[in-house]
Chains A and B, each alone.
Chain A
């Protein structure tokens, strides 16, 4: 995959070619998916390091490092956020069985399973539960669903979400705070 086509498609899209977006999605999805699995299958405790890296990488590879117009960029990220949600949740689902089993890894690195078992972060989130809860939230409040997707899966700041959705940052912040509380309560309830 070279940077060329995507950059070009993004430009066409900005110029009003709606079909360009449809052409971008599979490209972005493929790239993100391949990268995501490359990282995730290494099964480090916590995905954060790898995931950040892979989006960064995907972005660089796709847009050929050329700075994009700010509006293209937020649209690009909105697309990526949706796709990343899908990829992460799929991944969590496919690993679900293994993860909920013994929960212990034998320390081939000789670090010892006792230590491994404790490495799981307390704040690690059950992505499948989150996905369900988020779908439910979007039914209740579509815009909030969107905000969560952009903030959590897209890693956008409030300002960036505001820009992408055409609302004020203060609104984003307010909606995000309540959405977060609602989701965490929903997930916790589900876990009990």
Chain B
């Protein structure tokens, strides 16, 4: 081990060696170390480590603490022909300066300096590639990129045409542009973006500040700046579309849901379409759906979730909503009601289609968006249309797994809810001894509920299915109109209906009802009356669902305090409020506060026989989930089990709460490696889901998928197959072939069949997965490359070598490009290719590839070890085909050893490695050595002994 004294010498030599040309290093080291072998070994080993990609190069969090407060960079020195005049602005990526170019022409330009520290060699390479594509764009609506390069301090910069314009939204408002003029201007901007897309350049950060308007011959013309900059300085990879160095690459408010989704690794033309849609929204209504001022005082993850999941109001609804609209509308040259009317219908649909959360439903390109605007301007029917009921329902189900359960039984819930309301009402009345008799109130409520169902029956009789939604809508309307003279009952029923709307995810419908009900109860009963608190609690839940957290914590604390005062610490109502508060705190990441609160609530609930069992078990599973998050798996398991047992005996096996908790438990078991039990549970769960929700339900398919995965993890491939097949078939039918879930199912199916040795069929699925991904995700998407590689593997096994080679080469080249040459996936691709090359008789090429792989190998993850084993075994085979040698034999044996010992090995990899050994010994006349190995071959697949 090095001590501090030798260390400083090591550092010195290491630093100096790095400055030499790599080719000359060895000779230089001879001299510098002058016989000190230990020093030399240490330095060489460090140099070798230095040559590897190093995960430390990226901060634990890109941008980290330092990026948060702006950059500490001194004003730049002049660069080449550019003289800095003044700073125009500063953003996440760096600073923009107004500069004067002195040669070859004298003109003013905008010079964008990329933040230092944002760059590493990988990004540098990308930057070079990107600046070339930027140079080929030529469109009147796009500011030209004039030059790009790096400063002497290696800080990259772009030089752009200096556009003295103002942001499109500001221009429109300032000049009071009419709706039609706004649309025309916007359409031109779409054309510019479309042009760039045709040149394969995405913007990725479209916002009004990047679409400036200048007047050319008195006519407003949009000019888009900063094209492609986001890409040039962002690496790919999960979550990469968010920043590297302190700002968002997408801009809050304008960035697309996929940019906000760490699981999504690619963005495409539709990302720009989304941002354009938001800009159009703003041009039309004066607001953007997500208020940027909220970004600074809300937790980021909430905003991102909100962005990914919650649908914004339609432009017409938004325009009608705000009191400040008057001046905005005036700025548009219309009055509010006129504006709302004009937005309703076509323009609503166009905007909503452009800003769909699911990009598969968006316009495919800015060109399509522009075309629809043209259609609107020319009074032709637009391609965007109102979403269908079925579609809305699907979206809803997608958003709320639990809400789906509610929607299935919504009619039941409504009746139960009203009955409860009635009961509560009666009880309240009794306690307050009001004049009206209980019987009368009860009768009115009953009549009211009956009415609702009469409507539904009448419609059913007409041969039309009535939806739960329609019952609710009618109910809400009736409550408003018919119960005016009974404000307390009205408030309570509003609360109930609002709650059901909320369960269904229909937040816009829920909100006015809940707010009115709270206001009415405060007025009628007082602020801390139990009924008021109950209504307040419901309203708070809605706010949480909507991601609107302002004041929620305070309200929850208020409810808890009020109930403690009124009912005592151990009362069910109090404990419920306590659990709600804990749940909310946990959601906000305040686990340290949440955990004791939740645990105490649980303790007190256990001690209180009056607690509703459902409340108790939900609390238990929440505590369990917190334990799971903290890695205390065994404790979590025990608690889940208790909750499962308890809710099973309390509600029976089909209860939705029970199903949810059991699913949590089964999932936990997988991470504990208790696969057998997990399998049993998923089987039960699947059966129950099928019975309760039907075989096509979203949750049912998730269970089916999970069961298949667990079975295949257990190695029960044949058993897993029917589940994979069924999931796939249903997803195809329900979601379409190109839906991500469906594509995963196709991919998984191909993998399973290949593992089973059903190669002909596996080839079909793998080809389909590859073709779909290439088309939907693009050729360089990691999933597409994985699919190409897998397809190549099956083709190789089938002996279709030329095509196998082509696919594998494609995967290898793509991964080199996207992931870099030393990434484990790239190396695995190279091994795969070598296997096929050997098969095709191209032994020299195969050997070269194998050696490259072995030289670059690093143990980065467990399955990489098997891959190393396969490469060694493959190299041994190639070498052996040249005649027996020590190296060939040890590669074959060591390779097999690694494969055999890893828990990530497949039976096929093991068999192949043995086959190679047998082949080697038999081929080189060492029959005796071959015998024990041949005995280890699976007789079903083994080729007969060479005679």
B671 x A105 contact (CB < 8 A): yes
B11 x A175 contact (CB < 8 A): yes
Q: Cα distance A112–B705 when bound, in Å?
A: 7
Q: Cα distance A44–B237 when bound, in Å?
A: 13
A60 x B296 contact (CB < 8 A): yes
CB distance from A77 to the nearest CB of B (A): 4
A153 x B60 contact (CB < 8 A): yes
CB distance from B481 to the nearest CB of A (A): 43
CB distance from A172 to the nearest CB of B (A): 11
Whether B243 is near chain A, meaning CB under 8 Å from some CB there, is yes
For A122, the chain B residues whose CB sits under 8 A away are 823-825, 860-861, 864
CB distance from A10 to the nearest CB of B (A): 11
Q: Cα distance A188–B48 when bound, in Å?
A: 12
Q: Cα distance A113–B52 when bound, in Å?
A: 30
Whether B380 is near chain A, meaning CB under 8 Å from some CB there, is no
CB distance from B561 to the nearest CB of A (A): 21
Whether B663 is near chain A, meaning CB under 8 Å from some CB there, is yes
B242 x A53 contact (CB < 8 A): yes
B55 x A184 contact (CB < 8 A): yes
A113 x B713 contact (CB < 8 A): yes
Q: Which of B68, B629, B710 has the most CB of A within 10 A?
A: B68
A49 x B68 contact (CB < 8 A): no
Whether B417 is near chain A, meaning CB under 8 Å from some CB there, is no
A157 x B117 contact (CB < 8 A): yes
Pick the interface stretch among B193-201, B341-349, B583-591. Answer: B583-591
For A140, the chain B residues whose CB sits under 8 A away are 2-4, 7
Closest Cβ neighbor of B669 among chain A residues: A106
Chain A residues in contact with chain B, CB under 8 A? 33-39, 41-42, 44-60, 63, 65, 67-68, 70, 73-74, 76-77, 80-81, 84-85, 88, 94-98, 101-108, 110-115, 117-125, 127, 130, 140-141, 148, 151-160, 163, 174-175, 177-178, 180-185, 188, 191-192
Q: Which of A38, A106, A119 contacts B238 (CB 8 A)?
A: A119
Q: Cα distance A104–B904 when bound, in Å?
A: 12
For B860, the chain A residues whose CB sits under 8 A away are 122-123
CB distance from A182 to the nearest CB of B (A): 6
Q: Which of B3, B59, B590, B745 has the most CB of A within 10 A?
A: B59
Asked whether A106 and B706 contact (CB < 8 A) given A49-B242, A52-B243, A57-B300, the answer is yes
Q: Which of B8, B239, B670, B747 contacts A44 (CB 8 A)?
A: B239
CB distance from B705 to the nearest CB of A (A): 5
CB distance from B793 to the nearest CB of A (A): 15
Interface size class of B (residues with CB under 8 A): 35 or more
CB distance from B627 to the nearest CB of A (A): 11
Q: Cα distance A148–B593 when bound, in Å?
A: 32
B15 x A178 contact (CB < 8 A): yes
For A178, the chain B residues whose CB sits under 8 A away are 10-11, 14-15, 46, 50
B709 x A114 contact (CB < 8 A): yes
Closest Cβ neighbor of A113 among chain B residues: B709
CB distance from B113 to the nearest CB of A (A): 13
Closest Cβ neighbor of B69 among chain A residues: A73
Asked whether A88 and B60 contact (CB < 8 A) given A34-B590, A181-B50, the answer is yes
Whether B592 is near chain A, meaning CB under 8 Å from some CB there, is yes
Whether B884 is near chain A, meaning CB under 8 Å from some CB there, is no
Q: List 16 A-B contacts (CB under 8 A).
A: A35-B299, A42-B301, A50-B262, A53-B300, A68-B69, A70-B72, A77-B64, A80-B65, A105-B667, A111-B263, A122-B824, A140-B3, A154-B65, A160-B72, A180-B50, A181-B54
Q: Cα distance A51–B858 when bound, in Å?
A: 27
Q: Which of B49, B61, B713, B748 contacts A182 (CB 8 A)?
A: B49
Q: Which of A39, A105, A115, A148 contacts B301 (CB 8 A)?
A: A39
B702 x A108 contact (CB < 8 A): yes
Closest Cβ neighbor of B304 among chain A residues: A53
CB distance from A102 to the nearest CB of B (A): 5
Whether B741 is near chain A, meaning CB under 8 Å from some CB there, is yes
A153 x B633 contact (CB < 8 A): no
B50 x A157 contact (CB < 8 A): no
Q: Which of A57, A108, A185 contacts B667 (CB 8 A)?
A: A108
Q: Cα distance A124–B823 when bound, in Å?
A: 12
Q: Which of B61, B62, B751 has the most CB of A within 10 A?
A: B61
Q: Cα distance A46–B713 when bound, in Å?
A: 23
CB distance from A89 to the nearest CB of B (A): 10
Q: Cα distance A192–B823 when bound, in Å?
A: 18
A160 x B66 contact (CB < 8 A): yes
CB distance from A26 to the nearest CB of B (A): 13
Q: Cα distance A154–B262 when bound, in Å?
A: 22
Whether B53 is near chain A, meaning CB under 8 Å from some CB there, is yes
Asked whether A153 and B64 contact (CB < 8 A) given A96-B631, A106-B670, A106-B709, the answer is yes
A46 x B56 contact (CB < 8 A): no
Whether B413 is near chain A, meaning CB under 8 Å from some CB there, is no
B56 x A49 contact (CB < 8 A): no
Q: Which of B17-68 contact A (CB under 8 A)?
A: 18, 45-50, 52-68
For A70, the chain B residues whose CB sits under 8 A away are 72
B49 x A155 contact (CB < 8 A): no
For A88, the chain B residues whose CB sits under 8 A away are 60
A73 x B72 contact (CB < 8 A): yes
Whether B673 is near chain A, meaning CB under 8 Å from some CB there, is yes
Q: Cα distance A48–B63 when bound, in Å?
A: 10
Asked whether A50 and B301 contact (CB < 8 A) given A97-B633, A183-B56, the answer is yes
A77 x B66 contact (CB < 8 A): yes
Whether B630 is near chain A, meaning CB under 8 Å from some CB there, is yes
15 new A-B pairs (CB below 8 Å) besides A121-B238, A155-B66? A39-B301, A54-B300, A57-B299, A59-B68, A77-B64, A81-B64, A97-B631, A103-B862, A141-B8, A141-B11, A156-B117, A160-B66, A178-B10, A178-B14, A184-B49
CB distance from B415 to the nearest CB of A (A): 31
Asked whether A152 and B65 contact (CB < 8 A) given A38-B301, A163-B72, A192-B859, the answer is no
Q: Which of A37, A74, A76 has the most CB of B within 10 A?
A: A37
Q: Which of A95, A155, A177 contacts B63 (CB 8 A)?
A: A155
For A184, the chain B residues whose CB sits under 8 A away are 49, 52, 54-56
A180 x B57 contact (CB < 8 A): yes
For A68, the chain B residues whose CB sits under 8 A away are 69
B631 x A95 contact (CB < 8 A): yes
For A41, the chain B residues whose CB sits under 8 A away are 589, 591, 629
For B67, the chain A residues whose CB sits under 8 A away are 52, 56, 155
Asked whether A155 and B60 contact (CB < 8 A) given A50-B301, A122-B860, A178-B14, the answer is yes
B239 x A155 contact (CB < 8 A): no
Q: Cα distance A6–B842 when bound, in Å?
A: 68
CB distance from B142 to the nearest CB of A (A): 30
Contact string against A for B residues 230-249, beta-carbon threshold 8 Å, 1 for contact and 0 otherwise:
00000001110011001000
CB distance from B304 to the nearest CB of A (A): 8
Whether B701 is near chain A, meaning CB under 8 Å from some CB there, is yes
Whether B171 is near chain A, meaning CB under 8 Å from some CB there, is no
For B14, the chain A residues whose CB sits under 8 A away are 178, 181
Contact string against A for B residues 299-315, beta-carbon threshold 8 Å, 1 for contact and 0 otherwise:
11100000000000000
Closest Cβ neighbor of B10 among chain A residues: A178
Closest Cβ neighbor of A116 among chain B residues: B709
Whether B158 is near chain A, meaning CB under 8 Å from some CB there, is no
Closest Cβ neighbor of A150 among chain B residues: B66
A67 x B4 contact (CB < 8 A): no
For B7, the chain A residues whose CB sits under 8 A away are 140-141
A102 x B69 contact (CB < 8 A): no
Q: Cα distance A68–B710 when bound, in Å?
A: 53
Whether B722 is near chain A, meaning CB under 8 Å from some CB there, is no
For A60, the chain B residues whose CB sits under 8 A away are 68, 296
For A160, the chain B residues whose CB sits under 8 A away are 66, 72, 117
CB distance from A165 to the nearest CB of B (A): 13
Q: Cα distance A105–B673 when bound, in Å?
A: 11
Q: Which of B238-283 contact A (CB under 8 A)?
A: 238-239, 242-243, 246, 262-263
CB distance from B668 to the nearest CB of A (A): 9
Q: Cα distance A35–B60 when bound, in Å?
A: 15
CB distance from B669 to the nearest CB of A (A): 9
CB distance from B745 to the nearest CB of A (A): 8
